[in-house]
Structure 1
Amino acid sequence: MVAIKNLIAAAAASYLGSGYDWAGQSPNGIAFCSLDKFVPMFPSGQTQLVVPSEPPKFLGLAFGVQNYTCSSSNNYTNVGAVAELLDVSCIASESYFSTIQNDLYQVWEIIPQPIQAIIDVLHFLNPPTVLSQHFFQPNPVTGSGVSPVWDFRSNPRFKGHDDAFILAKGNGSIPSPQDPSKDVAWLHVVNVQGDIATDVFRFDTVGGQPPTSCKYGTDKDISVKYVSKYIFYGGSLNY
């Protein structure tokens, strides 16, 4: 946990240190390990989250915020998210991987710096554990609303690849199996633009849910911290 805190505080450089073993980096210093045998654990009996038959390409552990605005119905409506994804492909087989999102959330919850400030510093340090950034942008197809984006273009491996991202649309979701009142839903989204992936799944979520009600015209927009794992399939760009 100390190692994770150091990373979020931008004190880590090439790997996280004592708490977790982030070995397996490629010779150019970019974290990478094969995910050929990794299969995410989704609840049985549901049909919303069904992974493709091929192995995944990227596995990220994200920390960030879910953004909400108070609607005229006096409840909070999601208007996007901002998050930083760490490359966790090299620790996917470790025993602690199944609960690492809880460790990260405990630290992220008490860090005072806003997520964008941390992202900016991490971009400056450029540690190889940084995989990509997650944010929302205006929907380029409909011209209204916003679409989720996972952007790998700051990753040195994809320097110069203008299509190293995925802009996506929703395809399925289930409530968090752990605590749906506290943890945001698990999701499956599919590609609309970009070459980095065809499918993205959000799972093992912690946090991110807003208060159950608000007062329209009085309560301000809020950002709620969350942690989750994201797994990416397909696409034409590879490590």
Structure 2
Amino acid sequence: MKVIPMAYAATAASAALAGSSNSSSGAPPLSCNLTDIVLELPANQTQLYQPNTTLSAVALGLGVQNYTCSNTSTWTNVGAVAELFDISCLYNTPLFNTIPNITYAAWDITPEAVTPLDLISAFSGDPIVLGQHYFIPNPFGSGVSPKFDFTSARDKGNANAFVVGARAGDLPAPTGNQDADWLQLNGVQGELATTVYRIQTKGGQPPASCTPGSSPISVKYAAQYWFFGSTLTN
């Protein structure tokens, strides 16, 4: 039976999120100093580098990675959709780096009709929703680009509260090939951030192969997203 582990994992994750929550309607929490928060990247690697700008938020991303089957029988990533919850104030707690794992444990066995917001809200009541993550047509070329959009949540009413990113670094997850890569994205449009990092990933990788013509698939995942270098003004 999966009811007990789902309830346990979701309760633990949402209790942690509740600790950094005061409202899903807009204002960021006031109880933590973002200048104390340090991005920790794996040593002895050159794909991701430390930011030189100011941190504006750390989010838990909970959603799906989307794939289509290529004519070479491999899955090709065509974007992601995720809800972004504020976990900035959980820094220096034991749950900060484990929240993606804990939340993913519940998310992975949650029925398809349940959304990330449904899952977190059912247990924590009122988490701070920063915004949404999804993909759009590349504004400067072919393919698609990741977008982080806070215009309908934390920064509602600010049309510039988004960032479209371009990949600047890609590191296989230190936890293994079952987890989505860690990424560094440079902002190419919008004022939400100049650099975004995806780290502490859990899940998100497709099966090793597919049959050409197979239907697209969505693979659940969780991750931390770090936003640096905001130029937003009120």
Structure 1 residue 46 corresponds to structure 2 residue 71: no
Structure 1 segments of 4 or more deviating over 4 A? Answer: 1-4, 23-26, 117-123
SS of the equivalent of 2:187 reads strand
Measured in 1, the distance between the counterparts of 2:233 and 2:126 equals 19
Residue pair 1:29, 1:128 contacting (<8 A) in 2 also: no
Q: Which residue of 2 aligns with 1:160?
A: 157
In the superposition, relative to structure 1, how do residues 203 and 165 fare at CA in structure 2: closer, same or farther (>3 Å)? Answer: same
Residue in 2 aligned with 1:5? 10
Deviation at 1:55? 3.4
Aligned equivalents of 1:99 and 1:120: distance in 2? 20
Q: Kindly report which structure 2 residues correspond to 1:18-33, keeping only aligned pairs within 5 A, or say none.
A: 22-23=19-20, 25=22, 30-32=27-29, 33=32
Aligned pair in 2 of structure 1 residues 212, 233: CA closer, same or farther (>3 Å)? same
Please say if residues 37 and 55 of structure 1, whose CA atoms lie closer than 8 Å, have aligned partners that are also in contact.
Answer: no
The one-letter code matched in structure 2 to 1:200 is V
User: What residue is the counterpart of 2:209 in the other structure?
Assistant: 213
Aligned to 2:98, what secondary structure does the other structure show?
helix
Count of paired positions: 223
Unaligned runs of 5+ in 2: 1-5
Q: Give the % identical residues.
A: 43
Q: What is the match of residue 232 of structure 1? A: 227
Q: Secondary structure at the match of 2:97?
A: helix
Provide the residue aligned with 2:80 in structure 1.
81
For 1:48 and 1:178, locate their aligned partners in 2 and report how far apart those are by CA, in whole Å. Answer: 16
Structure 1 alignment gaps of length 5 or more: 9-15
The aligned counterpart of 1:68 is: 67
- Measure, in 1, the Cα distance between the counterparts of 2:85 and 2:74: 32
CA contact (8 A) 1:63 1:85 kept: yes
2:104 aligned counterpart, secondary structure:
helix
What residue identity is the alignment partner of 1:193? Q
Q: TM-score, normalised by structure 1?
A: 0.83
2:20 and 2:87 in contact (8 A); partners too: no
Aligned to 1:97: 96
Partner of 2:33: 34
TM-score normalised by structure 2 residue count: 0.85
Secondary structure of the structure 2 residue equivalent to 1:97 = coil
